[in-house]
């Protein structure tokens, strides 16, 4: 059995958000909810970037990734046509989510975070939990996985910043309401941008509701050998790639984590800009060729 | 040390060699009178701006002269100093006679990686330490430069074209899994494959080579040498599966019970960076040497124009530690354009575990050494970026059990260093992944696999060697362990015919 890393299917879910199914039977059969892969689009000069396994089909031997094209690597990944392969794919990595029959579980997904949340919510439901899902996005066009989440949740609450779909609210509003209503949740799983996870943890803290967050630090190897992904959790240093990616949200030092995420911002911005320039150039080139015909 | 032009060294050696050859047979006194040959190196100003190898290698004349310094001692003290017991006087004689091809054949009987070991072995504490010439001249630096001559013979072989693919016996139908692709694993793969067993190497990274690739920088060990060794393995029919992390992609026990491997060798190294556990260690700008070096070497971030992986724009750097890893990190920082690189070490220079040559090169390149100093905490700015390091001064106290004088802190000696980058190079431990996912495999309290002299572990058919057994050690020791484990695997497979 070998991973060919061939892209089997590709679809744009929302602007700059792509769902990609990849042939990787080894990973598909071993992976469990909460785990991720490391992807590299060029063996010599490419960057290694972590992406959560949003779904897997061991029968087909495929895994599904949901990628938000934010920088050079994610853009290039989203551009790989069906039938072609991804240079390098390593996984499954990270400690799987602890799934248990807690009782009432609230799953909060912000933006692209809904994708990694999906396998966890599904497993929580299968374990016999009552699952309430809160999905948040800036506007309607950025909402993803609503149908998939509706299928596996007992209840779905949608929030948008501008009110173009569902409630005009931040995800922390319904979360607070749920914490205040009896019976209050037994467990909250929040995945999304770091600020969202931070405020979800702040929201549940006064109610003492156990809150799991999934951290998306910068990584290099993803196997515990570089320490680049480290975060401070309850005054201890943890490696997100092996000790996580999930941690107790009430113990994570989010401010330090967000500062560390910004370590290479300047470099990334220029690489991203260059990437857009390159893409623009190849688009112009294509058009010129088409016009020439 | 003043820089001597390689062309000048070559000219001098040429003249000297003619003189020596004309004088006829050499007696020991003549040999001792031959000047020790200096290694030609890249100019220390030029090399601060490039990644090219610093040590350029002996010319044929230099190699012959240096080999002629060997007294051919009957008791061969040097051989006892080499962990794999290469027949040193024999190969030196071949080089002295102008036959490096014969020399490499002698070396290859014991070592699989002469081009690597000739470059990175800590010779001054191994083969060259007991050398009679060095002893007679009361200076280990004046010992016969065995490592440099070994490198010369290996480089000559490579320059002569593709070496013959080692002979592989007819297929036995037996299968061996090798986990990791560092020097221990490379050795096992070659030695086991030679006996006709099918070998698959599993490597977590996207490229094989282990520390030789991601840790030791190009300026000390060109990647083309590592690639050559890997190509030789492939030519022998060894299958290399990269992007495969045993314990996650597949468990070790599954390789045996489900995938039908008859034996497994674990050579996963010591890849877990140690931190000091002091305040401020998670500030932006504080890196492990592993991260810094992996970004620069494996991910090629040094090549800023082409690589997607970023590396910090360091200006004022402190490197903590005194081993090879610390030297490599400091010298990489120099090459990335740092204005100041400070090496901070808790003991004195005499205790530094780094190769003497690298300490010398680091100093030539402008790295500032601060010994008997250690970091106490790091302080950052409002963006969470490291800006200062509070240090403490130490003095050497009473000798401890090992006879080494322990550094003890001097109370009240705190002082501040301003900086924007800290690289922690205080050692590596073993990665717990295999431990956590392989029940029954015995580990010691430091997390290293317990193995006997032949690499046998507590699990049947599972062998281990290299840094995962020794703790962070050396290339040659890893290779030596691989050799022994391969022998044990081969005899085990020969004794138990295929069922
Ligand atoms: C465990 C884990 C799981 C992840 N799962 C997913 C996923 O399922 N889908 C997905 O789209 N993304 C996911 N990410 C984030 C993803 O890895 C980054 O978006 C990616 O590395 C960006 O690479 P790039 O070269 O395209 O952009 P870059 O040019 O490197 O960065 C562009 C922008 O993204 C930010 N960024 C860089 N690295 C990260 C990071 N690791 N996390 C968040 N932001 C980052 C930068 O600050 C910058 O603003 C995950 C991250 C982790 C650690
Ligand atoms: C920066 C640096 C400089 C050094 N300088 C010198 C020097 O000058 N001289 C010297 O003699 N020694 C030096 N050393 C030490 C030397 O490199 C090591 O002792 C040697 O490489 C150990 O070899 P190994 O085969 O045990 O493992 P390694 O070389 O560590 O290789 C282990 C490999 O296994 C892989 N791996 C780990 N876990 C898994 C898994 N679960 N599944 C699959 N693959 C896995 C890793 O990715 C890695 O590629 C240096 C080390 C470093 C870090
Ligand atoms: S392998 Fe290392 S120790 Fe042995 S002779 Fe060569 S350089 Fe010396
Ligand atoms: S100890 Fe030195 S002089 Fe003697 S045989 Fe070895 S290398 Fe030659
Ligand atoms: S990514 Fe390197 S240790 Fe986690």
Give the pLDDT score at A274: 62
Nearest protein CA to atom 1 of ligand 4, as residue: B131
Give B363 to chain A, closest Cα distance, Å. 27
A89, A259, A268: residue with CB nearest B310: A268
A275: contact with B, CB 8 A cutoff: no
Domain B6-160 has CATH 3.30.470.20: no
Residue B498 has pLDDT above 90, yes or no: no
Percent of chain B with pLDDT over 70: 98
Q: Which residues on neighbouring strands pair with residue B202, listed in sequence order?
A: B179, B241
Label residue B401 by pLDDT band (50, 70, 90).
Answer: confident
Across A216-220, B175-179, B228-232, the highest mean pLDDT is recorded for B175-179
Q: What is the pLDDT of residue A24?
A: 96
How far does the centroid of ligand 4 lie from the alpha carbon of residue B117, in Å? 18
Q: pLDDT above 90 covers what percent of chain B?
A: 87
DSSP helix, strand, coil percent of chain B (3-state; round to 5)? 40, 15, 45
Distance in angstroms (rounded) separating the CA atoms of residues B304 and B313:
10
Q: Predicted confidence band at B150 (pLDDT cuts at 50, 70, 90)?
A: very high
B77 Cβ inside 6 Å of ligand 4: yes
Q: What is the ipTM of this complex?
A: 0.91
In which residue are the tokens 């309430």 written? A132
Among residues 57-116 of chain A, which lie with CB inside 8 Å of chain B? 72-73, 87-93
Are B100 and B123 contacting, i.e. CB atoms less than 8 angstroms apart? no
Architecture category of domain B273-428 in CATH: 3-Layer(bba) Sandwich (3.50)
Q: How far does the centroid of ligand 1 lie from the alpha carbon of residue B282, in Å?
A: 20
pLDDT exceeds 50 at position A13: yes
- Find the length of chain A: 293
Quote the pLDDT of residue A193. Answer: 93
Q: Is the CB of A239 under 6 A from ligand 1?
A: no
Average per-residue pLDDT for chain B: 94
Per-residue confidence band for B11, with pLDDT thresholds at 50, 70 and 90: very high
What is the C-alpha separation between B341 and B327, in angstroms, rounded? 11
Correct CATH for A7-93 of 2.40.30.10, 3.90.1310.10, 3.40.50.180, 3.20.20.70: 2.40.30.10
What atom in ligand 1 is closest to the CA of residue A116? Answer: 8
Q: Which residues contact A238 (CB under 8 A, 6 or more apart)?
A: A230, A231, A232, A244, A247
According to the model, what pLDDT value does residue A293 have?
45
pLDDT tens readout for residues A130-142: 999 999 999 999 9
The domain limits of chain A are 7-93, 104-260
Q: Is B275 within 8 Å of A227 when comparing Cβ atoms? A: yes
Mean pLDDT is lowest, of A204-208, B242-246, B397-401, B456-460, for B397-401
> What is the mean pLDDT of the segment spanning B44-55?
93
User: Is residue B152 within 8 Å of B63, Cβ to Cβ?
Assistant: yes
Domain-wise residue ranges, chain B: 6-160, 175-271+430-495, 273-428
pLDDT band at B124 (very low <50, low <70, confident <90, very high): very high
Which residues, numbered 256 to 285 in chain B, qualify as contacts with chain A under a Cβ-Cβ cut-off of 8 Å? 271-273, 275, 277, 281-285
Residue B6: pLDDT over 80:
yes
The alpha-carbon gap from B287 to the nearest alpha carbon of chain A, in Å, equals: 7
| H and E: helices and strands count for chain A | 9, 15
pLDDT at B166: 81
Question: Taking a C-beta distance cutoff of 8 angstroms, is the pair A196, A216 a contact?
Answer: no
Distance of CA B196 to the CA centre of its chain: 29
- Tell me the pLDDT band of B8, cut-offs 50, 70 and 90: very high
Query: Predicted confidence band at B104 (pLDDT cuts at 50, 70, 90)?
Result: very high
Do residues B342 and B368 make contact, with C-beta atoms less than 8 angstroms apart?
A: yes
CA dihedral B361, B367, B372, B373 (to 10 degrees): -150
What's the token pair of residue B195?
């006996």
The secondary structure element, H or E, covering residue A66 is strand A62-68
DSSP label at residue B129: T
Superfamily assignment of B175-271+430-495 in CATH? FAD/NAD(P)-binding domain (3.50.50.60)
Q: Which residue of B has its CA nearest to A32?
A: B248
B227 inside 8 A of chain A by CB: no
With CA atoms as reference, the chain A residue closest to B425 would be A226
Quick one: average pLDDT of B313-332? 95
Stretch B109-134: mean pLDDT: 94
Q: What is the mean pLDDT of residues A270-292?
A: 60
Q: Is residue A271 very low, low, confident or very high in pLDDT (cuts 50, 70, 90)?
A: low
Q: How many residues does chain B have?
A: 499
If pLDDT is split at 50, 70 and 90, which confidence band does B405 have?
Answer: confident
Say yes or no to pLDDT of A262 above 50: yes
| A104-260: CATH topology | Rossmann fold (3.40.50)
**Is there a shared CATH topology between the A7-93 domain and the A104-260 domain?**
no
- Cross-chain Cβ contact A88/B242 below 8 Å: yes
Q: Which atom of ligand 3 is least distant from the CA of B150?
A: 6
The tens digit of pLDDT for each residue in B234-285 reads: 999 999 999 999 999 999 999 999 999 999 999 999 989 999 999 999 999 9
Residue of B nearest to A27 (CA): B249
Cα separation, A212 vs A106, in Å, equals: 10
Report the share of chain A in percent with pLDDT over 70.
Answer: 90
What are the pLDDT digits (tens) for A34-87?
999 999 999 999 999 999 999 999 999 999 999 999 999 999 999 999 999 999
Look over chain A and give the mean of its residue pLDDT values, rounded to a whole number: 90
Q: Which residues, at least 6 apart from B266, have a Cβ–Cβ distance to it below 8 Å?
A: B179, B180, B252, B434, B449, B457, B462, B463, B464, B465, B468
Per-residue model confidence (pLDDT) at position B285: 94
Distance (Å) from the C-alpha of residue B185 to the closest C-alpha of chain A? 18
Position B289 scores a pLDDT of 96
* Residue B305 pLDDT grade (very low, low, confident, very high; cuts 50, 70, 90): confident
């Amino acid at each position: 059995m070998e991973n060919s890393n061939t892209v089997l299917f590709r679809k744009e879910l929302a602007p700059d958000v792509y769902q990609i199914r990849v042939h990787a039977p080894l990973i598909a059969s071993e992976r469990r909810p909460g785990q991720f892969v490391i992807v590299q689009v060029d063996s010599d000069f490419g960057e290694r970037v972590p992406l959560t396994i949003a779904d897997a089909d061991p029968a087909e031997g495929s895994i599904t990734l949901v990628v938000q094209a934010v920088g050079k690597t994610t853009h290039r990944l989203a551009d790989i046509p069906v039938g072609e392969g991804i240079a390098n794919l390593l996984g499954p990595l990270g400690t799987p989510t602890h799934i248990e029959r807690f009782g009432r579980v609230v799953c909060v997904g912000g933006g692209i975070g809904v994708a990694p949340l999906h396998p966890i919510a599904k497993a929580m439901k299968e374990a016999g939990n009552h699952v309430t899902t809160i999905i948040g996005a800036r506007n309607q066009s950025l909402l993803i996985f609503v149908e998939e989440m509706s299928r596996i949740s007992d209840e779905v609450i949608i929030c948008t910043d501008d009110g173009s779909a569902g409630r005009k609210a931040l995800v922390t509003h319904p979360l607070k309401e749920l914490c205040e209503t009896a019976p209050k949740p037994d467990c909250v799983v929040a995945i999304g941008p770091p600020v969202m996870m931070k405020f979800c943890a702040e929201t549940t803290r006064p109610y003492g509701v156990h809150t799991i967050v999934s951290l998306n630090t910068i990584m290099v190897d993803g196997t515990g050998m570089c320490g680049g992904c480290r975060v401070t959790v309850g005054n201890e240093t943890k490696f997100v790639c092996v000790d996580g990616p999930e941690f107790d949200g009430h113990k994570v030092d989010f401010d330090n984590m967000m500062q560390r995420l910004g370590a290479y911002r300047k470099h990334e911005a220029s690489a991203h800009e260059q990437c857009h320039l390159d893409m623009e150039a190849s688009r112009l080139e294509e058009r010129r060729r088409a016009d020439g015909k | 040390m003043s820089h001597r032009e390689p062309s000048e060294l070559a000219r001098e050696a040429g003249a000297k060699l003619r003189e020596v050859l004309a004088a006829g047979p050499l007696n020991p006194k003549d040999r001792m009178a031959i000047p020790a040959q200096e290694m030609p190196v890249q100019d220390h100003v030029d090399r601060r701006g490039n990644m090219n190898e610093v040590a350029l290698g002996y010319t044929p004349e230099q190699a012959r002269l240096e080999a002629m310094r060997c007294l051919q001692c009957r008791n061969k003290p040097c051989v006892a100093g080499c962990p794999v017991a290469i027949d040193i006087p024999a190969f030196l004689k071949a080089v002295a006679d102008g036959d490096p091809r014969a020399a490499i054949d002698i070396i290859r009987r014991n070592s699989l990686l002469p081009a690597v070991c000739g470059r990175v072995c800590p010779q001054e504490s191994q083969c060259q330490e007991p050398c009679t010439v060095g002893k007679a001249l009361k200076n280990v630096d004046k010992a016969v430069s065995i490592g440099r001559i070994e490198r010369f013979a290996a480089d000559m072989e490579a320059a002569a074209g593709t070496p013959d693919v080692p002979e592989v016996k007819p297929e036995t139908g037996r299968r061996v899994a090798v986990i990791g692709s560092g020097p221990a694993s490379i050795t096992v793969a070659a030695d086991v494959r030679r006996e006709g067993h099918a070998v698959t190497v599993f490597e977590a990274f996207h490229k094989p080579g282990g520390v030789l690739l991601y840790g030791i920088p190009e300026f000390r060990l060109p990647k083309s040498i590592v690639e050559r060794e890997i190509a030789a393995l492939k030519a022998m029919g060894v299958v290399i599966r990269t992007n495969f992390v045993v314990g996650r992609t597949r468990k070790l026990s599954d390789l045996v019970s489900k995938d039908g491997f008859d034996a497994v060798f674990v050579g996963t190294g010591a890849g877990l960076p140690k931190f000091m556990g002091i305040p401020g260690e998670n500030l932006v700008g504080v890196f492990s040497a592993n991260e810094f070096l992996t970004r620069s070497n494996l991910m090629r971030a040094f090549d800023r124009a082409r690589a997607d992986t970023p590396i910090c724009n360091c200006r004022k750097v402190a490197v903590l530690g005194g081993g090879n890893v610390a030297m490599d990190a400091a010298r990489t920082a120099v090459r990335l354009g740092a204005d100041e690189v400070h090496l901070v070490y808790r003991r004195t220079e005499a205790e530094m575990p780094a190769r003497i040559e690298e300490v010398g090169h680091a100093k030539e390149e402008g790295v500032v050494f601060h010994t008997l100093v250690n970091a106490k905490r790091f302080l950052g700015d409002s963006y969470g970026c490291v800006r200062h390091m509070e240090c403490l001064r130490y003095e050497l106290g009473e000798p401890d059990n090992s006879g080494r004088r322990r550094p003890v802190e001097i109370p009240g000696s705190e002082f501040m260093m301003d900086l924007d980058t800290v690289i922690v190079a205080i050692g590596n431990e073993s990665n717990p992944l295999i431990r956590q996912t392989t029940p029954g495999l015995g580990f010691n309290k430091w997390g290293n696999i317990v193995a006997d002299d032949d690499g046998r572990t507590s699990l049947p058919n599972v062998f281990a060697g290299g840094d995962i057994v020794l703790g962070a050690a050396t290339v040659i020791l890893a290779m030596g362990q691989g050799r022994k484990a391969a022998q044990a695997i081969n005899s085990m497979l020969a004794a138990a015919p295929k069922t």
